A and B are shown apart, each in its own frame.
Chain A
Amino acid sequence: MAKLLCPYCFERFGSEQMQFRCVNPTGGCPLVPDVELGRFLSTSPQNLPRTFTPPRGFWPGVPRSATCSCQYETRLKVCPRCHNDWPTGLDSTENLIIAVIGAKEVGKSHYIAVLINALTNDFGVRFRASLNAVDDRTRNRYAAEFRKWLFEDRMTIPITRATRAYPLIYRLVFEEGSFYKTLRVVTLVFFDTAGENFTTTDTLNAYNRYMASASGILFLLDPLQIPAVQSRLTTGQRFPTERTNPIDVVSRTDEVIRNVQALPLHKKIRIPVALTFSKLDAVRELFPRGSVAHRDCVHPGYLDLSDQEQMNATMRSYVTQWVGSGLEQLVSQRFAEYAYFGISALGSAPEVSGSIAGGVAPFRIEDPFLWLLYRLRVIDGKRRTV
């Protein structure tokens, strides 16, 4: 039987090991120090309602509810390893962990924020899909740390704190079939971690071990941090103070994944990788008019493979110009599937104060994500016939 993967601690366990937390509202069940959760949070154990593993039932899989010794029937599942609340439906749906990886100031938070917003709105119409947060933590965090800044106050998102953070977990529901309609449910887990965490292999190991369990990796690379790009730009730009070589980030990620998966060097990593250059609006002048970098693409219910291949080819050639062939060499040797993308989350550079006066105007924000879904066989991909 397939093992379940906890989106918090990334431990795998059998469905029969799933635990439940008694939430008897009368307090009939005494609170006990939760050592596992304390260990996960790196705090002393808090007193919480007890957890327990229900007796194995006749049917395989995780039971919907379990009865505690206090006779209270609870439905609150927790991971048996870290005791975090188990997101609803995570044990019965297809789970995709999307790791957004990138150096500091490449715009990871902005990308995730805008992508989720896009998936929540326009994407749904085209793909007959809906996106919903699975828990309050995701809902509240997105509202407080993303939407409030970008879409309400039109400000850039504050710096992401360099500590462990809970993932954002969404349920993406596709409607399939034209006559007999069925629903396909995919749980998406996004990790938004601070760029500081990608600066050394140690911090990567400490905070980003989820990468090894990811279904797809989205490398965000900031062209403005590349000296060659900076020198070629003619318009007055504010360049990021950070200058992280994209090769370093990819290389460290490779190292961590191989460590965790115990994958030998001669084997390629099977996780599809979207090498995505952000802030495309700022470097658009480097692309010739008519290039895919100048036109947006609206994928009409499937991935436009023609467009994606063009973008891939274009970005690949420019990346070689900007950072040499090292990145391409590295990626091609280490990853089995990869593609290049160019996106802009905000659509324009924010002001010095961080204000986004014109509002958020994302550009090709869906491309890498849709490509990952396509590679993961969640959506279809077609070549557009002109």
Chain B
Amino acid sequence: MTFMQAYYTSCEIGHRGSKGFQFNAVTPGLDPRLFDQLERLGVYVPPSSSVVQPSPEDLERFPLVLLYQPLGGGRSVVAQSRYIGPDYSGRWGNYFTHYAIADDTERALRDQLPIELWKSPAWTTTESKQLELPRLDEFPLAGVIDAEAIRGFVRERPEHVAEIVEATRLALKTGRRVVIVDEDESIAKWIAAATYALPRHLALATSFTTYTKSPYESNAMIIGTTRDSDFRATQFEIDHQYSVFDFIQGRFSRIDASSRFARGVATSWVQSADRVANFAAFASLVDADVDAASVDQTWFGYALTDGRIEDAVAPADISWLTGRVERFSADQLTSVLSSVIGGAPNHELVEPLFQLYDRGRRTAVAKTIERQMTSWLAQLAVGEAERYGARIAALAPHSDSVRQGAASYAPQWLEAIASCSSAACYAALLQSGEALDFVFVDPRRAGAAAERWITDNAVQGHILRLARKPGGAELVNAVIEMLRAIPRASLPLESIANFLRDDEVRKATRLVAVEHEDVDFYTRVQTVLEREPFAAFNTAIMAARNLDGSVKPPRIDEISLIVWRGMTPPARDVLRICEQYPSLLPATQLLRRLPALLFDAKTPPEDAEQLAEVLSRTENRKPLDRAFYPVAVFKVRRALLRNNPDEPFKALDAGIRLLAERDVDANATAWLADAVSAHLLSLADARAHAKYLPQAIKAHHDLLDNYSRRALERLRTSSAPAATAAKLFQIWAQSGESGEWLLNTVLTGELRTWRRKRLDEVGYEVARAGKAAEEAWALWRPALAEKPSLLGRLFGRGRRDPRGGAR
């Protein structure tokens, strides 16, 4: 690919067909639509202060224009414009612009940069006598602009290198143009200093002109000009509108050149020209499409490859690397990774590095990455497992080399897992340890370390997963051994029920229990595992039978204590035990605890009754003797509390009969008396009272006498409403013969002991009950009369009949 050429000057022969400024000659095929654009680009206006009638030597001192402008579609133009003084007519003001237009800039320029064409011998200022020009194959270089020359130039002026580089990057990124005021050749060298450092495609996107009289009308990103140009350089322009570098008058825009790219390029120019020049090659290799905004990253990547990084690596750098990892050679990547992960792990970098590792595994440089990152991963696994366990676990299984490479870190890992400070840490260590095979180096130690963390679901999950791996059983056994060894109180097995239900864990539990002949532990586990305690009890008994050959009463006690956690088993379970082990039960301590069960409100009455029957049949009465007394009491109380109108008196019957049969002691009698008294006072169901009380009185009038007295005593001292007491008397009075007996024998004597106030209250209510309470009132009147009120005592008058009758 070659350049098409065009000459533009004020001449007599040209493409306009008349005299004057025109294209003197062009290469055939040059798009005529470009003419206007080229004409505008190539205009040369001499500086205001230039000599009016310059000699040939003066002409040499006029600023030389080398301009470069992309034209779109891959086309571009490089041109040299030079002031040549008079034209064919002798008038001053003529200039000659030699254009070189490339259809494919990249190919036409080959490895050259446009600025390198500065003063190339290929440029001419001589008109062509022909209207057609040949294509230009190449531009021989003048040698003025090359990397070494620029390095020499820059080293003498190090102050503004970084700023100009950064300003150029800004121009590409934001469109803020760079204006350089200096000698033309210096401007060319500044442009070279900036564009050499850019990736090639960005350098080719950087338009420039080494001189223009009016920077405001220039289309270039980097605009060279002279002190006497139209550029006003107002403060606003310097501060905001342009990046100004006026080396003549010392006016400079404030450019923040702290970017790594700008600083790196500036430093590199001082160190080595090749280092700057090689960046373009690096960029084209790994980041061919980098834009101006991201070139900072690319430069940093470049710096990483030779280890000359001056700044800390940022996550964005690693992300950048990840996106291009396949474009790095193995050597470059080795160098880069060494730079990044050579030091202590930086937490911010870890995640991006993992992504790099992920991405790198699929590339040709996978082995390099793995080798580099293996030890680093192992470090993380030990030191930062909690943060990165999951990530390591996700990565490492893909790579045997990682596991092999990390093996030397296993002891440290074991140390870490033994001393970890949280369940999450332990879980993460298990994760990473699993991935890196550390777990299986010493599974017993790893399992034993689970003591404090086994209640954590994540930990359990990891252990269960490991249990299914080769070598995992040993870990689980270690965990079970640990569970067996720790005190019950410090670790309720219920908290790890799900864990214990796992098949592998069950298996391990059985093995451990058998190995240590530890029915106790086994029972504890079974208690957790079985839905019903009785089932756990049974399983444990069976296990004990297998171990001991037979089941002995103490074992039953032990097992029941474990299964029911020291509490008395529920009546239902007790009954089932009684059914299964009838001969053993009397010898157990369990039996002694059963009476309490009878009073447990949770015990269903039928169960309690059945249990009482069982107990009553027990041959070994000795431990039960005293327990039998409350049995009957229970039955009465139980029945009384139930809301069944028939039941109270049946239970009363049964209780009274039991008491009669047995040689009851005083306590049992008192309990029963309390229960009956309470019943007698209970008016919850007056109808039931009316129906059954006579029957009860008839059958057990002796006992009821006693109980009635107790009831009256309660009534006298209690704060029961007087109306309630009145109603009680009313019921008794209506209970026919039995009630009459009750009233006559009990009340007449008792009422005399009542306090006058209470007597008044209750009597008043009895009297108010009207005709229905006639009989009761009849009994009451004498009592009241015997105890007149204070006024009655004073005035000899008794209490007024509340019914309005005579006293």
- Whether the pair A199, B90 counts as a contact (CB closer than 8 A) is no
Closest to A206 in B: B36
Q: Main SS of chain B's interface residues?
A: loop
**Chain B 176-193 residues near chain A, CB threshold 8 A:** 176-177
- The stretch among B12-20, B277-285, B420-428, B658-666 that forms the contact with chain A is B12-20
Complex Cα distance, B156 from A181, in Å, reads 66
Chief secondary structure at chain A's binding surface: loop
Q: Mark B147-180, 1 if CB is under 8 A from A, else 0.
A: 0000000000000000000000000001111000
Q: Which residues of chain B are within 8 angstroms of A136 by Cβ–Cβ distance?
A: 232
Which residues A12-44 have CB closer than 8 A to chain B?
23, 25, 27, 31, 33, 41-44
Residues of A within 8 A of B43 (CB): 161, 163
How many whole Å from B225's CB to the nearest CB in chain A? 14
**A residues in contact with B94, CB < 8 Å:** 158-159
- Interface set, chain A 100-138, CB cutoff 8 A to B: 104-105, 136-137
Q: Which residue of B lies closest to A43 (CB)?
A: B219
Q: How far is the CA of A161 from the CA of B9 in the complex (A)?
A: 10
Q: Is the CB of B20 within 8 A of A354?
A: no
**CB of B241 closer than 8 Å to a CB of A:** yes
B19 touches A159 (CB 8 A): no
What is the distance, in angstroms, from B226's C-beta to the closest C-beta of chain A? 12
Choose, from B81-89, B365-373, B619-627, B781-789, the stretch at the interface.
Answer: B81-89
Contact A240 B89 (CB under 8 A): yes
Chain B interface residue count, Cβ-Cβ cutoff 8 angstroms: 42
Whether B240 and A31, one on each chain, are in contact in the complex, defined by CB atoms closer than 8 angstroms, is yes
Distance in angstroms between the alpha carbons of A113 and B129 in the assembled complex? 35
Q: Do residues A25 and B235 form an inter-chain contact, with CB atoms below 8 A?
A: yes
> Is A27 touching B239 in the complex (CB atoms < 8 A)?
yes
- Identify A354's interface contact among B40, B91, B175, B176, CB under 8 A: B91
Quick check: B20 and A196 within 8 Å, CB to CB?
Answer: yes
C-alpha gap A37/B390 in the complex (Å): 58
> How long is the Cα–Cα vector from A355 to B174 in the complex, in angstroms?
48
| In the assembled complex, A63 has its CB within 8 A of some CB on chain B | no
Q: Does A352 sit at the interface, judged by CB under 8 A?
A: yes
Known: A47-B176, A149-B52. A163 touches B235 (CB 8 A): no
How many A-B contacts are there with CB distance less than 8 Å?
A: 111
B90:A196 contact, CB within 8 angstroms: no
* Cβ < 8 Å to A, chain B residues 85-120: 86-94
Chain B residues in 8 Å Cβ range of A242: 18-20, 89
Q: Which of A31, A33, A41, A162 contacts B20 (CB 8 A)?
A: A162
Contact residues, A130-179 vs B (CB, 8 A): 136-137, 140, 143-144, 148-149, 153, 155-164
Please, which residue of chain A has its CB at the minimum distance from the CB of B174?
A47
Interface status of A45 (Cβ within 8 A of chain B): yes
> Is the Cβ of B16 less than 8 Å from the Cβ of A42?
no
Question: Given the interface contacts A47-B176, A148-B48, does A241 sit within 8 Å of B92 by beta carbon?
Answer: no
Known: A23-B236, A159-B10. A353 touches B91 (CB 8 A): no
Q: A105–B89 contact, CB under 8 A?
A: yes
B21 contact set on A, CB distance < 8 A: 159, 161-162, 194, 196
Inter-subunit contact A161/B18 (CB<8 Å): no
Give Cα A105–Cα B19 distance, bound, in whole angstroms. 10
B45 at the interface (CB under 8 A from A): yes
**Is there an interface contact between A43 and B217, defined as CB atoms closer than 8 Å?**
yes
Given contacts A155-B52, A354-B90, whether A48 and B241 have CB atoms under 8 Å apart is yes
CA distance A197 to B176 in the complex (A): 33
Q: Which residues of A contact B717 (CB under 8 A)?
A: none
B653 within 8 A of A: no
Chain B residues, Cβ within 8 Å of A355 = 53
For A45, A140, A354, the residue with the greatest tally of chain B CB atoms inside 10 Å of its CB is A354
Nearest CB in chain B to that of A40: its residue: B217
Contacts A44-B219, A242-B20; A354 near B241 (Cβ below 8 A): no
CB-CB contacts below 8 Å: B20-57 with A: 20-22, 36-37, 39-40, 43, 45, 48, 52-53
Query: Is A272 at the interface (CB under 8 A from chain B)?
Result: no
Does residue B218 face the partner (Cβ distance < 8 Å to A)? Answer: yes
Q: Does B230 contact A (CB under 8 A)?
A: yes
B39 contacts A155, C-beta separation under 8 Å: no
| A354:B18 contact, CB within 8 angstroms | no
Contacts of A160 in B (CB 8 A): 93
Q: Does A195 contact B (CB under 8 A)?
A: yes
Most buried by A among B20, B36, B92: B20
B87 engages A27 (CB within 8 Å): no
Q: Are A27 and B53 also in contact (CB < 8 A) when A156-B91, A241-B12 are? A: no
Task: Report if A104-B19 is in contact (Cβ < 8 Å); known contacts: A140-B230, A149-B52, A206-B36.
Answer: yes
User: Which residue of chain A has the shortest Cβ distance to B46 in the bound complex?
Assistant: A158
Quick check: B53 and A241 within 8 Å, CB to CB?
Answer: no
The verdict on A46 contacting chain B, using a C-beta distance below 8 Å, is yes
B87 A159 Cβ-Cβ under 8 A: yes
Task: Give which listed residue, B17, B52, B90, B175, contacts A33 with CB less than 8 A.
Answer: B175
| Given contacts A31-B176, A155-B53, A47 and B19 within 8 Å (CB-CB) | no
> Would you call A241 and B175 a contact (CB within 8 A)?
no
A25–chain B nearest beta-carbon distance, Å: 5
Q: Do B19 and A241 have beta carbons less than 8 Å apart?
A: yes
| CA distance in complex: A31, B455 (Å) | 63
Cα–Cα, bound, A163→B214 (Å):
14
Task: Please give the distance in Å from A85's CB to the nearest CB on chain B.
Answer: 11
B174 near A159 (CB under 8 angstroms)? no
B87 and A354 contact, CB distance less than 8 A: no
- A residues less than 8 Å from B37 (CB atoms): 42
Q: Which residues of A contact B19 (CB under 8 A)?
A: 104, 241-242
Verify B18–A352 contact, CB threshold 8 A: no
A104 to B10, CA, bound (A): 11
B218:A27 contact, CB within 8 angstroms = no
Q: What is the minimal beta-carbon distance from B38 to any residue of chain A, in angstroms?
A: 11
The CA of A43 and the CA of B215, in the complex, are separated in Å by 12
| Contact partners of A164 in chain B: CB under 8 A | 40
Q: 1/0 per residue B311-331: CB within 8 Å of A?
A: 000000000000000000000
Tell me if B93 and A159 are in contact (CB < 8 A).
yes
Residue of B nearest to A136 (CB): B232
Which of A23, A105, A158, A240 contacts B92, CB < 8 Å? A158
C-alpha gap A44/B87 in the complex (Å):
32
Whole-angstrom distance between the alpha carbons of A62 and B16 in the complex? 44
Q: Restricting to B472-515, which residues have a CB under 8 Å from any CB of A? A: none
Q: Which residue of A lies closest to B230 (CB)?
A: A140
Q: Which residue of B lies closest to A242 (CB)?
A: B19
Closest to A44 in B: B219
- A348 CB to closest chain B CB (Å) equals 16
**Docked-complex contact A31 and B52, CB < 8 angstroms:** no
- Nearest chain-B residue to A164 (Cβ)? B40
Q: How far is the CB of A351 from chain B (nearest CB, A)?
A: 9
Given A196-B22, A353-B53, CB of A41 within 8 Å of CB of B241? no
Residue of B nearest to A24 (CB): B236
**Is there contact, CB below 8 Å, between B89 and A199?**
no
B45–A161 contact, CB under 8 A? yes
Nearest CB in chain A: distance from B90 CB, A: 6
Nearest CB in chain B: distance from A350 CB, A: 9
When distances are taken between beta carbons in the complex, the residues of chain B under 8 Å from A148 are 48, 52
CA distance A133 to B10 in the complex (A): 30
**Bound Cα distance A25, B86 (Å):** 44
Task: Please provide the 7 A-B residue pairs with the shortest distance between their CB atoms, ordered closest to farther.
Answer: A158-B93, A43-B219, A162-B21, A159-B93, A196-B20, A27-B240, A158-B92
What are 21 A-B pairs at a CB distance below 8 A?
A25-B236, A27-B240, A41-B219, A42-B219, A43-B217, A44-B219, A46-B177, A104-B19, A104-B20, A105-B91, A143-B48, A159-B91, A161-B93, A162-B22, A195-B20, A196-B16, A199-B20, A241-B12, A353-B53, A354-B53, A354-B91
Known A-B contacts: A41-B217, A158-B92. Give 17 more (CB < 8 A).
A31-B176, A31-B240, A42-B36, A46-B216, A47-B174, A48-B241, A104-B19, A144-B48, A153-B53, A158-B91, A158-B93, A159-B21, A160-B93, A194-B21, A199-B17, A242-B89, A354-B92
Question: Residues on A close to B: CB < 8 A?
Answer: 23, 25, 27, 31, 33, 41-49, 104-105, 136-137, 140, 143-144, 148-149, 153, 155-164, 194-196, 199-200, 206, 240-242, 244, 352-355
